Every structure is written in C-alpha cells, then in structure tokens.
Amino acid sequence: MSSESALAPPKTYVFDGAASRQGYRMNKLFMTLRDPAAREEFLADEAAYCERFGLSEAQTKAVLGRDWQAMLDLGGSIFYVYKLAMMDGLSMQYLGGVFTGMSEADFKAAMLAGGRTDV
C-alpha cells in the first residue's frame, strides 16, 4: 500500500499490517514458487493455482497479467512479488523500471548515476 503518512517517504509503499493482511494469500502463493515442482504446477494452470490459494479476483487478475504495480497495490510484498518475477527470468532492476516508468536499462543507469536524490 502506498502511503503519504509521516511513516513513509512520498510515493513509497510501507508493507504494514494492513497491507500484509490484504496480501497474505497472494504472498503465500509467491513463497511456494521457490520450489521447482510448485513452479511447474503454477505454470501448468496459473488460474487454478491462484484459486487454490484463495486469491481475490483482482489479485488473480494482477498475477495472471503480470501487473506488478497492481500486485503491490493489492498487498504484495516486494520480497514475495520478486519470487514471481524471478520465475519469469526478470530482475529486481526490471521491476524497478516498471515501478518508476523506465526501461530496465534506464533504471540501471539511473541507479549507477546515484539513484533518486529528491527524498
């Protein structure tokens, strides 16, 4: 969940209790993807796998469509969402680009140039 409160820098997600409750089942699903057998099963029928873990309709849609931003909005923790991205062969820098509206290459270049300096 994005927050503008005193707890969080602007435009930054704080994975707090409410977010963790919202994303609990989806993050549990991501946790299983560390196991090769689970990855195979997931890839064979992603919708059924989501249903088995009790994801909401919106969460299922986000997972099936690889809508990384929506996963965060729906309670995904980056440490868990990343396990899905890893399965897809994507990097943390790729996700960084998605979340900031850049290509992976531009994101990497921005990080090498010192990263964000406005906060």
Partner 1 sequence: MSEVIWGLATSHVPSIGAAMDRGMTQEPVWKPLFDGYRPAREWLAQHKPDVAVLVYNDHANGIDLDIVPTFGIGTADRYSVADEGFGRRPVPDVVGDPDLSLHLLQNLMDEGFDLTVFQELNVDHGFTVPLSIWTPEPGEAWPCPVVPLLVNVIQYPQPTAARCYALGQALGRALASYEAPARSASWAPAACPTSSPGRAPGSSTRRSTTCSSTRSRTTRRSSPRSPARTSSARPAPRASS
Closest approach, Cβ 106 to partner 1, in A, equals 9
Binding-site member from 41, 58, 67, 99 for partner 1 (CB under 8 A)? 99
Instruction: Please tell me whether residue 28 binds partner 1 under the rule CB under 8 A.
Output: yes
Cα separation, 95 vs 16, in Å, equals 21
Cα separation, 20 vs 6, in Å, equals 19
The piece of 5-13, 40-48, 52-60 that touches partner 1 (CB under 8 A) is 5-13
| Ordered alpha helix ranges (H), the chain | 17-32, 36-44, 46-52, 57-64, 68-73, 78-87, 92-100, 104-112
Task: Using CB under 8 A, list all residues that contact partner 1.
Answer: 2, 7, 9-18, 20-21, 24, 27-28, 30-31, 33-35, 69, 72, 77-80, 83, 86-87, 92-93, 95-96, 99-102, 107, 110-112, 115-116, 118-119
